[in-house]
Amino acid sequence: MLRYTTAGESHGPAIYTLLEGLPAGLSVNAESIARALARRRGGYGRSSRQGFETDAIEISTGLKGGTTLGSPLLIRIANQDNSLETKPPVHTPRPGHADLAGMMKYDTDDAGRILERASARETAARVAAGAVAAQLLHEFDIELFGHVVRIGSVAAKAGDVDDPQKIRDASPFYCLDPNADQAMRSAVDEAKERGDTLGGVVVVESSFLPPGLGSPATWYERLEGRLAQAICSIQAVKGVAFGAGFALGATPGSEAHDEIGYASGAFARATNRAGGIEGGMTNGEPLFLQATMKPLATLRKPLQTVDVKTKQPADAARPRSDVCAVPALSVIAEAVVAFEIARAMC
Ligand code: EPS
């Protein structure tokens, strides 16, 4: 079975991805992993950390001559910020972060012991795994495409564009509507000025999936379930929707489904409200899913909390953090979807 796990602390010496179940003979290109990691570091609104991390990777095991042996692949991503052992304890948990729940779970008064793994730094390891999965999918001409459609109250205009990759990669928000970039930038600048943070919405889509990936018969192989778990496990994600998503709950059946036609030797649908998945399987139509990210929990103008040692009201901790990490989410979401699709292909 294709699977991966990650290890490593946000401010330890390195983070790691261990991938198991890759087929033998797959060509693994370290540069395309590095490119995906560079995209994750980018996007407007990130903290100074992304300016000095280089995400230098080492593929420590699993390859000979650049192709997989079929054995576990271990990827190490170095941290430039390796300050774990000298960080002072944090007694003022941030509302919205893993701090307080983790302190109660692990019976500690130091949120630092929780945030080292809860931190979104871990998503670099997931992007590395997704980049390897993308190389496997590439062998089958399957590509996935993630982009940003909302930053706070600013929505991108939907619509088809020529050369979406070029437009997205030129956008500081990884967005397909160049007219939205300026409004998004102002929204992030204003949030920063206020000591606030912003969330948003991303889309992951693919036009190239063969029908039948997933299962109608086994609950944990149903593709929407697998993808929802992968997406909702990303730090700060609070929701996922497929196709028309939540709007389907307010739509009569006569307008909610995608009627089936047949033309030029293939089944064809005029609409794609299902987002390319029916009955837990791909149906041959484009995959379309959205994920929503809450605003990050570390605010320069701190929310109110309690000092867990004194039990007195206090300002929440405000370690270095991003104002907005939604562009990065589009890269991470693309990576975890690539992994689930590759897993289903295997
Ligand atoms: C992040 C690394 C972290 C945070 C952020 C994302 O690094 P540091 O805490 O050292 O600045 O900037 O993490 C969070 C948003 C979070 O909630 O922990 C990264 O590499 O993506």
pLDDT of 99-115, one tens digit each? 999 999 999 999 999 99
Give pLDDT, residue 292.
98
Q: Which one, of 284, 287, 288, lies nearest residue 260 by Cα? A: 284
Does the predicted TM-score (pTM) go above 0.85? yes
Atom of ligand 1 nearest to the CA of 118: 18
Give pLDDT, residue 142.
97
pLDDT of 4-54, one tens digit each? 999 999 999 999 999 999 999 999 999 999 999 999 999 999 999 999 999
Q: Is 42 in the pocket of ligand 1 (CB under 6 A)?
A: no
Cβ burial of 176 (10 Å; 0-12, 13-18, 19+) is: buried
pLDDT of 107-161, one tens digit each? 999 999 999 999 999 999 999 999 999 999 999 999 999 999 999 999 999 888 9
Rounded distance between C-alpha atoms, residue 187 and residue 192, angstroms: 9
Rounded distance between C-alpha atoms, residue 296 and residue 323, angstroms: 7
Atom of ligand 1 nearest to the CA of 328: 21
Residue 205: pLDDT above 90? yes
Cβ burial of 259 (10 Å; 0-12, 13-18, 19+) is: exposed
Q: Is 61 in the pocket of ligand 1 (CB under 6 A)?
A: no
Tell me the mean pLDDT in the region 280-309.
Answer: 97
| Ligand 1, atom 20: closest residue by C-alpha | 121
Q: How many angstroms is it from 309 CA to the middle of ligand 1? A: 25
Residue 94: pLDDT above 90? yes
Tell me the mean pLDDT in the region 235-243.
Answer: 98
Q: Is 81 in the pocket of ligand 1 (CB under 6 A)?
A: yes
Give, in order, the Cα–Cα distances in Å from 215 to each of 60, 222, 278, 345: 34, 5, 10, 12
Find the helix or strand (DSSP H, E) in which 277 lies. strand 277-278
Rounded distance between C-alpha atoms, residue 321 and residue 70, angstroms: 38
Rounded distance between C-alpha atoms, residue 205 and residue 286, angstroms: 7
Give pLDDT, residue 61.
98
Q: Which one, of 13, 12, 19, 9, lies nearest residue 338 by Cα? A: 19
Give pLDDT, residue 158.
86
Q: Is 37 in the pocket of ligand 1 (CB under 6 A)?
A: no
Q: How many angstroms is it from 335 CA to the middle of ligand 1? A: 18
